[in-house]
Structure 1
Amino acid sequence: MRNLLILGAMAFCLCVHVCSDTQSGPQGDTTLPEEDGVLQLKQEHFKRALRKYKQLLVHFCKLHSDLSFKDAAEALMGSEVKLGVVDVTQEKDLVKELNGTSYPMVRLYISGDIHNPVPCPGVKTVLSDRISYFCTNLHRLSHLCFFVQELTNAYSQVFHAAAVDLPDISFALTQNEEVSRKYRLSQDVVLLLRKKLDCRKHFKTSQILSSPVLNHALLFVNKSSADFEEISSAFSSAAENFRMKILFVLVNVAESRNGRLMEYFRVRDFEAPLIRLVNLTDHVTYHLPSDTLNVEVIQEFCQSYLDGKAKPKMQSEPIPEGWDQKPVKELVGMNLEQVAFNPDKTVFVLFYLPYSKASRTLFPLWEELAEAFRQREDVVIARIDASANDINLSTQGAYPSLCLFPALYTERSHIYIWRKKYLKTEN
């Protein structure tokens, strides 16, 4: 009994000690390093700063001795905006995680959202007049606005406060009588108008590939061609009906930096204009089968893709002479299905890349296997160049891959993915 009491007391003391440690740890962690009122942000506490401050204005730059943000920090005193700096020369992992692209760069992080910061033109621009930065006076008819008779009334102040709290939304206000007459307004009113989607924005490849929209429609066109304006206008108009469903991308074939992209889609500059549609998940490509590129044709093509009715574009080499005369049959895109899905034969196909060392390693083994089954008319050993032929078959994008099409049950194909010294089966 005495031993049990001692054991219980020890357990209680241990629990108290553990609780004490867990409580004291975070308290020591709550402080964030500051200098002249400016947060010195590092990777280990950046997310904690996001949680602590509703609006975190971050300046990414190369810090040096004569660079001071003291005045900027003082200008933000008493507001919900906290200024912080990231030294891009020291915090390379943090910059990479935040997808930093160019410097100096200023971003405003709202409500702890690390993924959707608001880009700002500069700290001075924001500090010069925070309200006017987020809320613009309107003098033309082409903006969203709060129609108000007095800019200093209580409603205007509420509108300004909302503009500061929601910097990722465009706010504007006006006293312009011409605007009021256009909308037949006689009192203070807020109108939310849907602006026309502007599809002609310039993005880097990394930004396009990181888009949450996985369906991409690519228009390959020469900007110097006579029909460029007409085609690009139709492409932009068609895009409006597929917002958040298909990302429309214009590719200038005359731009040398687009060469890699054209090579990937096997597009040559003299073939433009043409439209390809691809899903970034399975990388299956679809081609618009029409020489006419107007709004109706483009919309019909995109809708047929979303409905699952569009057929993939299958690129194929020409069928080589004597392709079936050797033990290893040489297949191309044109005859792959005809050979592989023959219900009377079991077909074993090697999908290879000619420049791949791992692929070439399998060639002697494949020849040996073909010789072993040479006398079997119901067995076919074949191979196909996956870099030159589109294949409507999921091989998980890994090559070399082996695919067995058993007789009678060819639809039940078995894929084997090469992994160095072993094969991984994909059923």
Structure 2
Amino acid sequence: MRKLLLLLGLTAFCLCVFVAADEQPNRQADKSSLKEDGVLQLKKGNFNKALRKYKQLLVHFYAPLSGEGHRISAAFEDKLNPVPCPVPQSSASILTWLKRRSGSADDLIADLSQSEASEELTVVGFFKELNSEYVQMFYAAATDLPDINFAVTQNNDVISKYGFTHDVVLLLKKSKLIQAYKMMPETSKEMLIIFITVYQMEPATEYTGQTSTQILSSPVLNHALLFVNTSSADFKEIHSAFNSAAEAFRLKMLFVWVNVDEPRNGRLMEYFRVREFEAPLIRMVNLTDHVTYHLPSDTLDVQTIKTFCQSYLDGKAKPKMQSEPIPEGWDTQPVKELVGMTLEKVGFNPDNTVFVMFYLPYSPESHALFPLWEELAEALKEREDVVVARIDASANDIHMSMQGAYPSLCLFPALHAERVVVYNGKRKVKDLLKFLDKEMKKAKKDRVKEDEDRRKYIEAAKAEEAKQANQTKDEL
């Protein structure tokens, strides 16, 4: 999901606004590239020159017609007058990042009054020695989290207020200690960042335009998503159960709830194939493999949610397999129309060699192959041992590893159907037929070899069993 959203954001862009950080701040930039506000405007003609001139560049690539692009551009133009702002990609956070990259990341404080009173989360590090490795690790984490306030203290009286005497990192908000993290020899920057970013959010966070960046950039990749209608009578009860379950899985899973009654959440619901009337329901997903899991229960209480989450973490949960209904007459045409429910039965049939096109209905590249696939099916219509088929990969979950982009052409050889071979050759019928014959011959040879190896193994096992039996008789 994260990759999809990033690609959507980078598809069209324009060069570009950027801020330059240089070792010589007084050096004059090329006036032909400067606006009055001091932000360089890069184009094709001066981009390489800027790369050579400045050692550090912060570049904003934006789509000219994008409202979000103009908002961030305005934040760049406000760089000379920064103000504290928790919104990601604000001028304040950009400048904070530049400051922390070039020097000390935090302010040394003598008391916690300002940090405790802050409406925003403040990360306070207490260290007995300011030149320790823990402090450097703390500064490194602060550099990667420019939207969060950081501070450092070594005042024992300050930290003893919370009952600590060892090196510790505190998360404070509205005069309340949110969480504490004891620094240990095995602590790494990555562990510290995960701790801060997880406890920066609520146990169960609503998916909105403001929180989407935090959610998608979270280092916690296991996500539990509750799709729920906030206007339903049982919303408070379900949300309370979801929030309580989330407390037990902090640092292991990210709990996110989605209001299905919010039109702006339509794309997310489409991605997870959730329809409004199906709510409430819970989906589980890992952002690295995008395999979706579904809580198989209509009861959404604390214990049910906890049990499902633990089974997912233990690898015992079964993926949710999405499938279109089996179309009428799906196997009567030269090209068979497969769906999720028939793919495994047809594709992994050891009696037939099956050539399947995995396509996307909105892809011009996919539609361009339809005539070729019909021609291939026509060429093989007399072969009862060969099946030519296609399946909509966007509407049916494919529970197998797919290589490359769609459309993808995959062969399931007979006699060796558990092996899937991806075709990467020329998109012509004669080349497809050559590939088909080659793989069918290979599958037959592999099966003969496997059968021979199996026969030898069985004979050896029987011989060993007979030997053991004879030894037992001799001992008696």
TM-score category of the 2 structures, normalised to the smaller one: 0.5 to 0.7
Distance 1:230 1:168 in 2: 36
SS of residue matched to 1:363: helix
SS at 2:226 equivalent: strand
Mark the runs of 5 or more structure 1 residues left unpaired by the alignment: 1-28, 50-58, 73-98, 119-125, 147-154
**In 2, Cα distance between equivalents of 1:349 and 1:356:** 17
Task: Give the equivalent residue in structure 2 for 1:168.
Answer: 150
Give the structure 2 partner of residue 24 of structure 1: none
Higher share in helix: 2
Provide the residue aligned with 1:312 in structure 2.
319
- The change in CA–CA distance for 1:106 and 1:401 in structure 2 (over 3 A counts) is closer
1:101 is aligned to 2:83: no
Question: Aligned to 1:216, which of 219, 223, 227?
Answer: 223
Corresponding residue number in structure 2 for 1:413? 420
Q: Does 1:265 align with 2:272?
A: yes
Say which one has the larger Rg: 1
**Aligned partner letter, 2:178:** K
1:348 matched to 2:348: no
1:195 to 175, 178, 197: 178
Question: Which residue of 251, 261, 273 corresponds with 1:244?
Answer: 251
Distance across 1 between alignment mates of 2:427 and 2:112: 57
CA contact (8 A) 1:316 1:332 kept: yes
Does residue 31 (structure 1) correspond to residue 24 (structure 2)? The answer is yes
In the alignment, which of 329, 333, 336 is matched to residue 329 of structure 1? 336
- In the alignment, residue 278 of structure 1 is paired with which amino acid? V
Contact 1:199/1:239 (8 A) holds in 2: yes
1:361 aligns with 2:368: yes
Whole-Å separation in 1 of the counterparts to 2:331 and 2:219: 45
Deviates more, 1:191-200 or 1:370-379: 191-200
Name structure 2 gaps, 5 residues minimum: 1-21, 29-37, 41-49, 59-73, 143-148, 171-176, 180-198, 440-476
Instruction: Say if 2:386 is the partner of 1:379.
Output: yes
| Cα distance between partner residues in 1 of 2:230 and 2:425 | 43
Q: Secondary structure at the match of 1:335?
A: helix
| Cα deviations by residue, 1:76-120 (Å, 9 ceiling, x for unpaired) | xxxxxxxxxxxxxxxxxxxxxxx9634465653499559xx88xx
Residues 353 and 387 of structure 2 are in contact (CA less than 8 Å); yes or no, is this contact kept in structure 1?
A: yes
Classify the secondary structure of the residue corresponding to 2:178.
coil
CA shift digits 1:332-368 (9 cap, x unpaired): 1111100001011111101111221111111111111
Q: What amino acid is aligned across from residue 382 of structure 1 in structure 2?
A: A
Deviation at 1:256, TM superposition (A): 0.9
**Residue 242 of structure 1 aligns to a residue in which SS?**
coil
- Pairwise CA RMSD: 4.8
Distance change >3 Å, CA 144–CA 388, structure 1 → 2: closer
Q: Distance in 2 between matches of 1:170 and 1:235?
A: 35
Q: Secondary structure at the match of 1:229?
A: helix
Per-residue CA distance 1:17-74 (angstroms, 9 max, x = gap): xxxxxxxxxxxx8433389xxxx8988657599xxxxxxxxx964259xx779xx9xx
* CA apart distance, 1:243: 2.8
Q: Alignment partner of 2:345: what SS?
A: helix
Aligned residues: 324
| Structure 1 residues 270 and 171: CA distance shift in structure 2, 3 A | farther
Distance in 1 (CA, whole Å) between partners of 2:322 and 2:204 is: 30
